[in-house]
Chains A and B, each alone.
Chain A
Amino acid sequence: MSVENLKAYIESGVLELYVLGDLSPEEALQVEEMAAQHPEVKAEIAAIEQAIEQYAMQNAVEPSADVETRLLEKLGLSEVEPEKTVKPTPPVAQEASVIPFDESAGKVRILRYALVACVALLIISTAALFITYSKLNDAHDQIASLNLDKQKFAGVVSKLEFENQGLSNMAAMADSQEWATINMTGQPFSPASKMKVYWNKKDKSVLVNYVAMDLPKTDQQHEYQLWAMVNGKPVSLGVFGKNDSTSNEALVKMQAIQEAQAFAVTIEPMGGSINPTMDKLTVMGGV
């Protein structure tokens, strides 16, 4: 290669790129061959390298101290130094390896306090929760017993209302001239029973009053049937339930009857019978 060509080669800037690591492997190889053949090229590269190196030295930035520690740890070379030095100084070495951890040790300490505080809070919270829970249970028990009381009172009140309604109706009908009250008395089947029937003289309607009756208890399959005796023949006026009926109405309207000489109640199977079961004749009374 001629001197001119060599000069042009050097001035092309390729050697700078070579030093900056900015060439492809093939290009770099060419530069290396050139450098091996031409001392001028080699010298130029050395000068560029020195400039870059000096430039880097003047641009130096100190990294933080723990990078070295981390590096030596990573390469497993942390303990190398004490062996190498003539006077082993373990305290210094120890100190040196401790420093980077100071920051994290502080964090760990804070975290430890935080942990203790958390555990304490947890214990307090758990205790508070248990106390609250038992109080809540007490409250539930109280609510349950109060509910029971309330139901009991509600039952009493509705019973009282029911009786009051029946009694006031009875009193009103007794006063009224329109209504005839027929007292029925116990029959051999049930001597202690008694009952009243109200018969309206005008419209001939018939009422029974649950409050004004004392009949033997019936079972699930039986109920009471009211009869009117018309010229010696029983005429059904309908059935009615037990006297402890939960119905709110004390008065029950039965079928009307134009004329009757007597009224009677028998116990019949549910739904009533066509003819009265005479041996279950409970009460009877004449008009």
Chain B
Amino acid sequence: MSNALHSTSKSKLHRISALFLAAALVLCCMAGILPASAEETTGSMTLRCVKDEDVVVNMHWQLYRVGHRADSDFVFEGDFADYRVTLGDRTKSMLEWDAETVASVGEALKRKTIADGIGKRDEGYTNSSGAVTFDGLEKGLYLVWGDILVVENKTYIPSAVFFEMDGETADILNAYPKIICRTLSDSDERYSVRKVWENDENQPQNRAVSITVERYRDNRYFDEIELNEENDWTYYWDDTDNHIWFVYEKVIPENYTVAYKENHTQFLIVNTYEGDTAETTTTATVTETTVGTSGTTTVTTKTTTVPPPSTTTDKAPQTGQLWWPVPALAAGGLLCIGVGLTLRKRDDEE
């Protein structure tokens, strides 16, 4: 009996222990799961594509995850790791950057995806309202850009959008990408690309001797050209077929970042020095060199600019004619003649 009682109480004890164990296991699991689910909070980005009165329908957009924020800094990852694009103040939220900088980062990253053939994470087409939504986006940095869309004689060129999912306030984002609309024309266009250096005025030795620039036509690789001191870091080309061009710096010079600016016909590549400003060693490098297909043209007109005048003399220019000897000579002559007349008179008197 006592054995039976002992056996029963032992069995109860086992059951209670098992229950406690199970409860502890569940609690442990929950404890493990909860933070995990917090990290996996996802959000969405909706792009709304409208140009003036036109709703841009059926525009193809592709999304890339490019990095994340770590220790108040932006860290590019995967295919974008170590890409040196000119950013705004990394310690601040991207919302505090100026719009031009954000757009420039997006454009640079977009060009990298095309140049390097980086695979997209997601894609979509704008619906009849001109909207396309990407959801399931974890905390991190993203790039989304759209293809050029041609509708009848109009070409819609969307700008890339670089954005951050911060996992807190940005669960649902909306963006209105800038869209440029061009109408097909028969006129020739002269395009130009120029490369400029910034923030290294006192350290020009850090600059590369030349850079290689790839040209892309309608988002496809076209050719590459070299920019250097000899061509004043500038290259010109003509196009008669309404292509959409962009340029891409193939190798960003060491210690520099890159940013792109453009208007209809001009492309500017800005390399900003971000190395040690006290550095004085020469790190100039020559990157790949391939000459482009068409040459530059120098336009000369009858007008030129004036060289600085030479004004180093310590006296203003002598702008007078030789007048001062005239009265002196005349007076001297009259005096002599006067003396002569006096002598003659004295001679006559004698």
Is A bound to B? Answer: no
Spell out A's residues near B (CB within 8 Å). Answer: none
Spell out B's residues near A (CB within 8 Å). Answer: none
